[in-house]
């Protein structure tokens, strides 16, 4: 479904040029949940945005649903691929009502019966129609993310890119949103690419994952390897150890970040 | 998110609970609610309320001018020239015997006409130029900003004079001249806002959906730039009124016998010592209205400042 | 507790007026703090941050703070004059916040800021202050203190920024440190390193630490005791090692809905919120 070959992303020009991603290659099969894991600066979000066509400075070969991607994304791509962003406060326009936020993609893709689709989309993500005319600041973070999911799914895409969709949410709300995402995937036969720094979330959601550091691929592994704590690369092992909670002795084994 | 607020007993008035309800039923209700909450914040500020009252006063005086005046203020009555304030003429009469109160009231229409017309011209132009420059960036940004800089470089009055010389003195040309020299800062403000917004995730979401650049500018970027621009306009109004008055004072702009306040000061200034009311009353009118707009603008800024939002 | 608590809070209330009515952020929170690491855990809106701020008088806005008791080492923090509070704040009770970017002055070098923090509360010479600053930078395990001394906040990474904050807050040797989500903005490996520094500081210098966080696992593994907050109230207090035996359904719910690396399963347990939890106890 998604083929990435030699992906690189450079920010800035000349002397200020910064290689955010270098020489990345991986595949995502149809119907798979694929994870990208790494710490800040690893380039994982950049990879997602590169595939989404939201940033310049991208080189390498990207093929999505059989279409080789160029500089601009086609209408077909914009129908097939949608994205859910990290910040529930920032991904919804502060001056648009929920109704406007959900109607817009449907309108752009010239769908019919938009009002019905909006109501149905809200129901699917577990919100009733009383939410239709609220503004983002009148609803909670978890509810905003549900609306972000509804917005991504209203035009019935095949692939959803998820950029840390629950990092900014409370733990109890995170559980609800992750359950929602899994249910949507099952019911609509979606393919997911999930970026996260949280190994527990990735372990719960994904089938396979790649670990990134400083813009490079460190390791590709299956979720079983993660769950059994048997990755191969020492960096992945370090991440796993740090995810387990605070352990004074274990800290000594971590590489210093200075 | 767990509710931490105590149960709030809303007042029974149907309208108030409609305006404060958490689940609006229509886009109209949602918009009304937003304005109502903004109003609640605005009316907490007494100085802003004074500004609003003055501005409203100006508008009402302009609307009800025919009922507030006894004459058109245009016909000379030389028997009555330079009379001081009396029960017959509340502000006295000017050098041609015309009732000054009536002229001030009729002049309010001209003042409103000037600020309204200038506003209608500069706000859209500034918004469009600024948001396009800020959002698109690169060469387009450079080009538009250099054009903006060129207009910004001209001193307002001098350019107005030059335009008057070319087009001939009239109220409409004065408005045009003021607009031409006023729009640049609005483009700058809109551009600054657009630059901050441009990398927001909701913009990225719109791009993901395949929205056109025009669509994004019009539906996503401009609505967020408009508050700053409006605040700037209200604060600028004082300056616009004064520039118009200045042009009127120089005999450009509104031509006699039109009761434009600046022109009234000009023609009355020779009487300042003995019949002080002739140039002073229009001067006070200009002062009060400028102050009103300034105070209103300050109040609006406090309301529309995103930092004070919920 | 064998010795008298260094901080004693009873029935703390923090209320904010809004156009739609009063919002009670903290409703009757009570706890005692000894020379230990006390974690305060809660989700957003639980009132945990406002509790920390109320202790230091940093409530801000139009918030109103009431308490039956708020005593630090014999000082009544409720009635304290502005002068007393200033002498306490930063000197005997310090606060570390989430993002060093917002707490450090961007136009002053790091070293100068730390020195200033020292000189505000002590009558030391510039030379002494500089020595102390270098000591603190070494104590927070910064390998090249001389270089970092002259650096500006934007030139250092997030993890280093937090270490600098810790150095700044620790230099007057406070009795209590209130850390409000000090590691939430950091990568997980850096988090561990910063926590190790805090840990060492507490054990070596006999300080008390209030650790405010939304991360239950982290707090359970790092702190000695844990306070669970919900809707402005304390739901449960437990020793950290005993947290898995928690009794209150909210705590159990919170523990249950966390995803685990080694777990299988399509659905995470979702917390059923009992409206009775929000009732005033």
Chain segment A34-90, per-residue pLDDT in tens: 999 998 888 899 999 999 999 888 999 999 988 888 888 888 999 999 999 998 888
Comparing C-alpha atoms, which of B276, B285, B186 is closest to residue B245? B285
Per residue in B55-78, pLDDT (tens digit) is 999 999 999 988 888 888 788 888
Q: What is the DSSP letter of B99?
A: B
> Please, what are the domains in chain B?
42-71+92-308 (1.10.3720.10)
CA dihedral B10, B13, B15, B18 (to 10 degrees): 30
Using a CB-CB cut-off of 8 Å, the residues of chain A touching C157 are: 257
Total-model pTM: 0.84
B211 and chain A in contact, CB less than 8 A: yes
What integer is the mean pLDDT of B134-145?
Answer: 94
A contact chains, 3+ CB pairs < 8 A: B, C
- A20-24, A250-254, B288-292, C183-187: range with lowest mean pLDDT: A250-254
3-state SS class at B17: helix
pLDDT at A220 exceeding the cut of 90: yes
Helices (H) and strands (E) in chain C, counts: 10, 11
Q: State ipTM.
A: 0.89
Q: Give the closest of A172, A197, A228 to C271, CB-based.
A: A172
Per residue in A75-132, pLDDT (tens digit) is 899 999 999 999 888 899 999 999 999 999 999 999 989 999 999 999 999 998 888 9
Give the mutation candidate from C138, C143, C257 for the A interface (greatest A CB count, under 10 A). C257
pLDDT at B133 exceeding the cut of 90: yes
pLDDT at B241 exceeding the cut of 80: yes
Q: Do B2 and C20 touch (CB under 8 A)?
A: no
Comparing C-alpha atoms, which of B34, B11, B39 is closest to residue B24? B34
Residue A255 lies in a domain: no
Q: How many CB pairs under 8 A join A and C?
A: 116
User: Is the Cβ–Cβ distance between C73 and C45 less than 8 Å?
Assistant: no
Query: What pLDDT does B7 receive?
Result: 44
* Whole-angstrom distance, CA of residue B204 vs CA of residue B167: 47
* Whole-angstrom distance, CA of residue B36 vs CA of residue B51: 18
Residue environment code for B228-257, b if the CB has 16+ CB neighbours within 10 A, otherwise e: bbbbbbbbbbbebbbbbbbbbbbebbbeeb
Using a CB-CB cut-off of 8 Å, the residues of chain A touching C267 are: 179, 182
* Whole-angstrom distance, CA of residue B213 vs CA of residue B45: 39
Per residue in A133-164, pLDDT (tens digit) is 999 988 888 899 999 999 999 999 999 999 99
* Whole-angstrom distance, CA of residue B310 vs CA of residue A206: 37
Query: What pLDDT does A258 receive?
Result: 41
User: Is the Cβ–Cβ distance between C185 and C165 less than 8 Å?
Assistant: no
Q: What is the DSSP letter of C248?
A: S
B87 and chain C in contact, CB less than 8 A: no
C187 and chain A in contact, CB less than 8 A: yes
CATH of the domain at A179: 3.40.50.300
What integer is the mean pLDDT of A15-44?
Answer: 90
Q: What share of chain B is helix, strand, coil (3-state, %, to 5)?
A: 75, 0, 25
C contact chains, 3+ CB pairs < 8 A: A, B
B24 CA: distance to closest CA in chain C (Å) = 16
> Please, what are the domains in chain C?
1-92+177-281 (3.40.50.300), 93-171 (no CATH)
* Tens of each residue's pLDDT in chain C, 281 residues: 457 889 999 999 999 988 778 889 999 999 999 889 999 999 888 999 999 999 988 888 888 999 999 999 888 888 888 888 888 888 899 998 887 777 788 889 989 988 888 888 888 888 888 998 998 888 888 888 888 899 888 888 878 888 888 888 888 888 999 999 988 888 888 888 888 888 888 888 888 999 999 988 899 999 999 999 999 999 999 999 888 888 888 998 888 888 888 877 778 888 888 877 777 77
Q: Give the closest of B27, B201, B309 to A97, CB-based.
A: B27
Q: Give the closest of B3, B4, B8 to C20, CB-based.
A: B8
User: Is the Cβ–Cβ distance between B115 and B171 less than 8 Å?
Assistant: no
Query: What pLDDT does C2 receive?
Result: 56
What integer is the mean pLDDT of A166-190?
Answer: 91
Using a CB-CB cut-off of 8 Å, the residues of chain C touching B5 are: 18, 20-24
Q: Give the closest of A90, A131, A142 to B200, CB-based.
A: A90
C253 CA: distance to closest CA in chain B (Å) = 14
A224 CA: distance to closest CA in chain B (Å) = 33
Tell me the Cα Rg of chain C: 20
Q: What share of chain C is helix, strand, coil (3-state, %, to 5)?
A: 40, 25, 35
pLDDT at B12 exceeding the cut of 60: no
Quick one: closest CA in C to B44, which residue? Answer: C19
* Whole-angstrom distance, CA of residue A244 vs CA of residue A242: 5
Comparing C-alpha atoms, which of C152, C139, C20, A148 is closest to residue B208? A148
Q: Do A255 and C189 touch (CB under 8 A)?
A: yes
B17 CA: distance to closest CA in chain C (Å) = 11
Q: What is the DSSP string of C78-110?
A: TT--HHHHHHHBTTTEEEE-S-HHHHS-TTS-H
Q: Give the closest of B204, B206, B309 to A137, CB-based.
A: B309
B11 and chain C in contact, CB less than 8 A: no
Q: Please state the separation of Cα B98 from the chain's center in Å.
A: 29
C109 and chain A in contact, CB less than 8 A: no
Q: Do A228 and C266 touch (CB under 8 A)?
A: no
Q: Give the closest of C18, C19, C46 to B2, CB-based.
A: C46
CA distances from B146 to A128, B136, B188, C114 (A): 50, 15, 11, 45
Residues of C near B (Cβ–Cβ under 8 Å) read: 18-25, 27, 43-47, 230-232, 273, 278
Q: What is the DSSP letter of A89?
A: T
C157 and chain A in contact, CB less than 8 A: yes
pLDDT at B4 exceeding the cut of 80: no
Q: What is the DSSP string of C153-199?
A: GGGS-HHHHHHHHHHHHHTT--SEEEEESTTTTS-HHHHHHHHHHHH
Specify the number of domains making up chain A: 1
A69 CA: distance to closest CA in chain C (Å) = 33
Residue A257 lies in a domain: no
Quick one: closest CA in B to C230, which residue? Answer: B2
- Residues 78-97 in C contacting A (C-alpha not used; CB under 8 Å): none
C257 and chain A in contact, CB less than 8 A: yes
Q: Do A108 and B211 touch (CB under 8 A)?
A: yes
- Between the ranges A68-77, A188-197, A242-251, C237-246, where is the mean pLDDT highest? A188-197
Q: Give the closest of C159, C222, C258 to A171, CB-based.
A: C258
C58 vs B203, which has greater pLDDT? B203
CA distances from B204 to A82, A120, B21, B78, B210 (A): 11, 24, 31, 70, 10
3-state SS class at A188: helix
């Amino acid at each position: 479904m998604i083929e990435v070959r030699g992906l690189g992303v450079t920010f800035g020009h000349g002397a200020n040029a910064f290689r955010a991603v270098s020489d990345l290659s991986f595949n995502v099969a149809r119907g798979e949940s694929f994870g990208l894991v790494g710490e800040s600066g690893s380039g994982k979000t950049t990879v997602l945005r590169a595939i989404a066509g939201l940033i310049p400075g991208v080189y390498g070969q990207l093929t999505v649903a059989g279409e080789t991607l160029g500089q601009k994304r086609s209408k077909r791509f914009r129908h097939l691929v949608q994205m859910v962003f990290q910040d529930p406060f920032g991904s919804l326009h502060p001056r648009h009502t929920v109704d406007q936020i959900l109607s817009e993609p449907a309108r752009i893709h010239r769908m019919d019966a938009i009002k019905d689709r909006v109501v149905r989309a809200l129901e699917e993500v577990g919100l009733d129609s009383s939410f239709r005319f609220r503004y983002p600041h009148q609803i909670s973070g978890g509810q905003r993310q549900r609306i972000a999911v509804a917005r991504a799914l209203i035009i019935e895409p095949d692939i959803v890119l998820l950029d840390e969709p629950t990092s900014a949410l409370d733990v109890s709300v995170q559980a609800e949103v992750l359950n929602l995402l899994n249910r949507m995937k099952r019911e609509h036969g979606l393919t997911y690419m999930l970026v996260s720094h949280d190994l527990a979330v990735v372990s719960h959601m994904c089938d396979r994952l790649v670990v990134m550091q400083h813009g490079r691929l460190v390791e590709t592994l299956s979720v079983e390897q993660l769950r059994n704590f048997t990755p191969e690369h020492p960096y992945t092992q370090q991440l796993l150890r740090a995810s387990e909670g605070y352990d004074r002795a274990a800290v000594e084994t971590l590489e210093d970040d200075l | 998110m767990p509710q931490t607020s105590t149960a709030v007993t809303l007042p029974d008035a149907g309208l108030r609970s409609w305006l404060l309800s958490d689940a609006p039923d229509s886009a109209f209700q949602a918009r009304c609610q937003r304005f109502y909450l903004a109003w609640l914040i605005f009316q907490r500020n007494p100085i802003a309320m004074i500004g609003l009252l003055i501005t409203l006063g100006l508008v009402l005086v302009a609307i009800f001018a025919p009922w507030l005046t006894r004459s058109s203020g245009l016909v000379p009555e030389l028997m009555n020239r330079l009379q001081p304030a009396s029960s017959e003429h509340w502000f006295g009469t000017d050098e041609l015997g015309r009732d000054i109160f009536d002229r001030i009231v009729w002049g309010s229409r001209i003042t409103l006409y000037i600020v309204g017309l200038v506003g209608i011209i500069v706000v859209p132009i500034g918004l469009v130029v600024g948001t396009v420059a800020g959002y698109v960036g690169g060469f387009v940004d450079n080009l538009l900003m250099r054009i903006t800089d060129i207009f910004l470089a001209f001193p307002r009055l001098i350019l107005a004079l030059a335009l008057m010389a070319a087009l001939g003195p009239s109220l409409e040309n004065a408005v045009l001249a003021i607009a031409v020299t006023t729009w640049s800062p609005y483009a700058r403000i809109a551009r600054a806002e657009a630059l901050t917004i441009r990398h927001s995730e909701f913009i990225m979401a719109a791009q993901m959906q395949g929205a056109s650049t025009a669509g994004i500018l019009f539906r996503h970027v401009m609505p967020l730039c408009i508050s700053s621009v409006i605040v700037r306009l209200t604060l600028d109004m004082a300056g616009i009124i004064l520039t118009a008055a200045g042009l009127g004072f120089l005999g450009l702009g509104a031509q006699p016998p039109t009761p434009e306040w600046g022109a009234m000061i000009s023609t009355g200034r020779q009487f300042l010592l003995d019949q002080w009311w002739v140039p002073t009353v229009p001067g006070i009118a200009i002062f009060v209205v400028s102050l009103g707009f300034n105070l209103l603008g300050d109040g609006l800024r406090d309301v529309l400042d995103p930092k004070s939002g919920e | 507790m064998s010795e008298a608590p260094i901080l004693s809070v009873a029935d703390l209330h923090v209320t904010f007026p809004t156009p739609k009515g009063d919002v009670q952020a903290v409703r009757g929170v009570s706890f005692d703090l000894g020379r230990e690491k006390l974690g305060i855990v809660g989700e957003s809106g639980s009132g945990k941050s406002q509790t920390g701020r109320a202790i230091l008088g940093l409530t801000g806005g139009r918030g109103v703070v009431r308490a039956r008791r708020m005593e630090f080492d014999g000082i009544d923090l409720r009635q304290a004059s502005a002068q007393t509070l200033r002498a306490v704040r930063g000197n005997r009770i310090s606060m570390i916040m989430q993002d060093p970017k917002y707490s450090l002055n961007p136009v002053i070098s790091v070293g100068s800021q730390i020195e200033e923090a020292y000189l505000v509360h002590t009558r030391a010479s510039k030379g002494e202050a500089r020595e102390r600053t270098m000591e603190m930078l070494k104590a927070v395990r910064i390998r090249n203190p001389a270089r970092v001394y002259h650096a500006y906040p934007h030139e250092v990474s997030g993890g280093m920024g937090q270490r600098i904050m810790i150095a700044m807050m620790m230099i007057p040797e406070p009795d209590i440190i209130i850390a409000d989500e000090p590691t939430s903005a950091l990568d997980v490996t850096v988090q561990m390193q910063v926590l190790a520094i805090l840990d060492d500081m507490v054990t070596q210098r006999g300080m008390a630490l209030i650790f405010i966080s939304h991360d239950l696992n982290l707090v359970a593994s790092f702190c000695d005791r844990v306070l669970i907050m919900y809707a402005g109230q304390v739901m449960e207090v437990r020793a950290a090692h005993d947290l898995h035996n928690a009794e209150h359904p909210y705590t159990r719910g919170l523990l249950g809905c966390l995803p685990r690396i080694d777990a299988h399963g399509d659905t995470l347990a979702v917390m059923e919120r009992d409206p009775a939890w929000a009732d005033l106890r």
